[in-house]
Amino acid sequence: MIRKKSREEIKLMRHAGHIVALVHQKMKEVVEPGISTKELDEIAMKVIKENRAVPTFLGYNGFPACICTSINEQVVHGIPSEKAILKDGDIIAIDVGATYRGLVGDSAWSYAVGNVSDDIKRLMKATEESLYAGIDKMRPGNVLDDISGAVEDVALKYGYGIVRQYGGHGVGHQMHEEPFLYNYRVGDKTLIKSGYAIAIEPMLNMGCDEVSVALDEWTVSTVDRKPSAHFEHTVVATDDGPQIMTKLME
């Protein structure tokens, strides 16, 4: 069952989302060649704790860190490590979750490390564009397939692969609530209602759609080893249009 969020719940999600956005603001500053993903995790943890929130990912199904860091061909769920050191030309997707007074904000962003190729810039631009195309459909009266189709159309326009096994999700008191949201059309006619909160999160691949999970049982990578990008916002459908929770409050 998809549960509508109350005004009070949305207020708390907005606060959680602000904290997630603060982490991303910090990540944007510190992502550079030479830093390890372990250091990024420590910095993220500090920001979340300073803001009296809880890192949602830490311990989630046993995940050992508070952010996911996925470099180049890694798509999602990469585990921060002192051995994973960013190099000039890399692309890194950082996924952040924060829980504030029981409500969750979830947002991922891809960052260029130093100077990246035009191909990577194009992949990042396309994936971000597909996110906002999806967000624009997060309106009462639309159906889930409208969001999925908007994401798919952007991916097709650029000729990129779409990750099939992972997608967006309802979010609120739990990080993963109903419904599941595909990043391509599946004919899901579930009606979007005012108060629904969904994390919309396209993952686009420079090459083929296929991905596989590493032996660490977390890290998802493209099977052709070509780069992937990931952008995500937590969004609430309201009568005034889509409201992004995971951005800085004015």
Q: Is 41 in the site for Mg ion (CB under 5 A)?
A: no
Instruction: Supply angle C-alpha 54, 56, 57, rounded to 5.
Output: 135
Give me the least distance between CB of 42 and Mg ion, in Å please: 19
Nearer to Mg ion, 221 or 246 (CB): 246
Q: How many helices (H) and strands (E) does the chain have?
A: 4, 15
From the list 19, 93, 108, 154, which residue makes contact with Mg ion (rule: CB under 5 A)?
108
Q: Does 98 bind Mg ion (CB under 5 A)?
A: no
Q: What is the footprint of Mg ion within residues 219-248 (CB under 5 A)?
A: 232
Provide CB contacts within 8 A for 7, sequence distance 6+.
none
Q: Is 163 in the site for Mg ion (CB under 5 A)?
A: no
Nearer to Mg ion, 63 or 158 (CB): 63
Candidates 41, 106, 152, 177: give the one binding Mg ion (CB under 5 A): 106
CB of 199 to Mg ion, least distance (A): 4
Whole-angstrom Cα distance, residue 32 to residue 39?
Answer: 12
What number of chain residues touch Mg ion (CB under 5 A)?
5
- DSSP type of residue 217: S
Q: How far is the CB of 229 from Mg ion (least distance, A)?
A: 14
- Binding mask 176-215 toward Mg ion (x if CB under 5 A, else -) reads -----------------------x----------------
Q: Which range, of 4-12, 105-113, 138-146, 236-244, touches Mg ion by CB under 5 A?
A: 105-113
Instruction: Give 97 or 195: the residue with its C-beta nearer to Mg ion.
Output: 97
Among 9, 41, 90, 95, binds Mg ion (CB under 5 A): 95
- Residue 147 engages Mg ion in binding (rule: CB under 5 A): no
Q: At residue 82, what is the residue type?
A: E
The answer to the question of residue 90 lying near Mg ion (CB under 5 A) is no
CB atoms within 10 A of CB 220: 22
Tell me whether residue 12 or residue 199 sits nearer to Mg ion (CB atom).
199
Name the residue type at position 118: D
Stretch that binds Mg ion, among 77-85, 106-114, 206-214, 215-223 (CB under 5 A): 106-114
Q: Is 81 in a helix, a strand, or coil? A: coil
Distance (Å, rounded) from C-alpha 71 to C-alpha 21? Answer: 20
Bridge-based pairing of strands 177-181 and 228-230 is unpaired
* Distance, CA of 45 to CA of 201 (rounded, Å): 22
Q: Are the C-beta atoms of 200 and 168 separated by less than 8 Å?
A: yes
Instruction: Provide the Cα torsion 70, 73, 76, 79; round to 10°.
Output: -40
Least distance from Mg ion to the Cβ atom of residue 31, Å: 17
Which positions from 57 through 86 interact with Mg ion, judged by CB under 5 A? Answer: none
**Closest-CA residue to 33 (of 79, 89, 76):** 89
The residue ranges that bind Mg ion (CB under 5 A) are 95, 106, 108, 199, 232
